[in-house]
A and B are shown apart, each in its own frame.
Chain A
Amino acid sequence: MKKLLLGTLGALLAFSVQAKLTIVITTPDLGAIAKEVGGDKVEITTLARPTEDPHFVDAKPSFIVKLNKADALIEGGAELEVGWLPSLLTGARNAKLASGQPGRILCNEGVHMLEVPSQLTRAEGDIHPMGNPHFIIDPANAKIIAAHLADAFAKLDASSADTFRANGKKFTDTLDAKLVEWQMKLAPFKGAKVVSYHKSWPYFAERFGLEMDLFLEPKPGIPPSPAHLADVIAKMKEQRARVIIVDPYLNRKTAETVARSTDAKVVDVAQMPGGVKGTDSYIALLDYLVNSIANALTEKK
């Protein structure tokens, strides 16, 4: 009897373990959205850390094991991960993650990409052939991604399809309400200048009506030179730009130096939930970004 009971328990446990989808996600921003949509029906592993430069993640062999066991892989799809993901996938030899399979989920599907280069030349720095890959930071794109993930998860686990769709709807509804709030908060600063280190914020700028065309990097991925910084300082003074945003993996000291000679404020930002303390969900991160940028713009008006 005891044996039977144990056996049943074991079978049940095995079933419940099997019922959960194992999903590997390249970056924490996509991870946060996948968590909202998947809820407790999915087991999520994120490869890149929130404070890390997503262009340069080490292809650790332990990632191969994670990919080998995964039911699905979620990636941006715009070649942000091109420097490290392909060799991992080769090593993982997981047929479920082959290109075109339901387990290979590309998040830029249906997203309108900005800055698709008309001419491909590395003389312009590190440009991405498919357009600027930092699109997840626009809440409108997060909505597209959530709907896309709900469909993709439903395909992989039809029995939980309703849950995924309901979760996705709940998340997009929250985003809709929040987006109105965020846009209202930033509405007074329409057209305000915000300086960023790397060219990773065009989607955010476009959504919230900010003007972000000054960068501490002379070209994407090219480190700031003194001559370029002098030029940026002159332009900031001329255009009254007094807010500089810096991601956790970029050189804050450079931003501080520029801020000192322009009376600007340096704001710590991140595109990955968890990249700044206390921003563990996508909405918490956007709340933080909107509030801290609005506060800095108010302070430096």
Chain B
Amino acid sequence: MKRKILKWSVILVVTGLAVGAVGAQQTNEVEQLRKELREMRERMQALEQKLGSIEQKPAAPVPVIAETVPSAASTWKPSDPVRVSKGGAYMDIGMVATFAAGGSTASDIEGGTQLGGHDPNQRGFTVQGAELNLQGAVDPYFRGNANIVFQLDSGGESFIELEEAWLETVSLPGNFQIRAGQYLTEFGRINTQHPHTWGFVDAPLVSGRLLGEDGIRNPGARFSWLVPTPFYSELFFGVQNSQGGTANGFRDDHGGEGFLGRVNTQGRVKTAGDMLYSTRYAASFDLSDTQTLLAGASAAFGPNGSGADTDTQIYGMDIYWKWKPANAHAGFPFVSWQTEGMLRRYQAGASTTLDLTGDSVADFAPRETLTDWGFYSQLLYGFHPGWVAGLRGDYVTHSKMGAYEDLYGADAERAMRWRISPNLTWYPTEFSKIRLQYNYDDRDGIGTDHSVWLQFEFLLGAHAAHKF
């Protein structure tokens, strides 16, 4: 026992000594470091003086690296402008305001000849939208984006739309990316593009009819995977709420008005199967040094509000091709061709709630599946810096008459129609544009109409880089 205590005390003493020795050594080292630091400081001051004298010289005959000073050294003063763009602030702020003026031979412009929610909606002037864009890095893990649209309706009433507000991961492993919040559904090309990037004044008929006036966008989450192929290819999968006006064709009550021969109700989400699911695969190839092709296939599935256990499926194919020569100036000249086709299968429930004959008595419509489809194709030719000539063709129709139409007459929302739209755009700079467009419209059962629209737009502040 005694020996053990002795042994322990020896160990303790030895350890204590060792620690003390290390401590002394450390004190020595600290002093050494202090000395070195002092010396370095002196050396730096001398260098700074030298640098100062070099700077004051009017011009050095042969440049040396020390001649330059880092540009980041300049400090901000209250009199300096506040930069709302990359690097100068925590977020980029931009505003795009788009307007249209013109007229049409049609008397039902809003929702009749013009199907898009941001289209010109009346004879005279239309505020197509003033869109505020906020974006930036949230932290090292997420980036955030919000698009808030201020609009005036055709009656002059102001309203605000939360077009998008989402966060997105920036550093997930495995080439994955997750976006969550309110966002435009990854379906085709036109649906994810904001109207100011469109080549035409208005939305294509097929997206207006099958995706709705504002396209498909809703709260949800989207998952994307950059597939490890030698060429670009990306897979998207999204889950979103399936109700509301921005899920037209799904659980949208259409404001209580009839849609495809039925009164729709929003209903409730009972199972995960009642959500809106969307998927897309896109791939791109450089056909040559000057030509690039991007093609995609999309699908969206979800319940609709026409009855119990009624579903909607929308399928889409899109292709985009662009040519730009190797010595293009300011992005000109170029030729681009974009085509999208869509098909919707809508299971309509049996209904006895809507007055289809106009005799104030509700009529019966049987359960049936309604298939509608259409496409648009557009060609843009940037023939001179700042000048773009465009031509678009639209076509929408149904695959066969619905049973309710056989009973009560053709539904204008399903009838065949086509449209041809030539236009000419002048971009004084990338930040402004003036566009003149003519639409020749032919609607089955209604007739032909002519519309002329002059669109003008300005962009303030930060301008997000364009996607291909």
Contacts and interface: CB of A to CB of B under 8 A. Distances in A.
A200 interface: no
Given A79-B86, A120-B83, A90 B143 contact: yes
Nearest to B289: A49
A84 B466 contact: yes
B13 interface: no
B369 to A, nearest CB: 36
Contact of B65 (A49, A60, A116, A147): A147
Contacts, number: 146
Contacts of B385: 223, 251
B198 interface: no
A58 interface: yes
Chain B interface helix/strand/loop/mixed = loop
B83 A65 contact: no
Contacts of A60: 284, 286, 292, 468
Contact of A221 (B85, B172, B229, B330): B330
B280 interface: no
A95 B177 CA distance: 12
Contacts of A53: 328-331
B1 interface: no
Contact of A98 (B87, B171, B176, B331): B171
A253 B72 CA distance: 40
Contact of B464 (A56, A87, A120, A221): A87
B231 interface: yes
B63 to A, nearest CB: 4
Contacts of A108: 71
Nearest to B467: A87
B99 to A, nearest CB: 19
Given A108-B71, A111-B68, A65 B464 contact: no
Given A90-B143, A223-B386, A251-B329, A112 B171 contact: no
Contacts of A144: 65, 68
Interface string B166-187: 0010111101110000000000
A246 to B, nearest CB: 11
B71 A249 contact: no
Contact of B69 (A58, A112, A248): A112
A86 B86 CA distance: 10
A83 interface: yes
Contacts of B67: 112, 140
A83 B140 CA distance: 23
B140 to A, nearest CB: 7
B360 interface: no
B467 A140 contact: no
Contacts of A52: 326-328
A82 B83 contact: no
B326 A112 contact: no
A119 B285 CA distance: 42
B432 to A, nearest CB: 9
Interface in A125-154: 125-126, 129-131, 139-141, 143-144, 147
Contacts of B429: 122, 125-126, 221-222
Top 6 A-B pairs ranked by shortest CB distance?
A61-B284, A140-B63, A61-B232, A56-B331, A112-B68, A87-B465
18 contacts: A51-B327, A53-B331, A59-B465, A61-B292, A62-B286, A64-B226, A82-B86, A87-B464, A87-B466, A92-B226, A95-B170, A95-B171, A99-B137, A111-B68, A111-B71, A119-B81, A207-B63, A221-B429
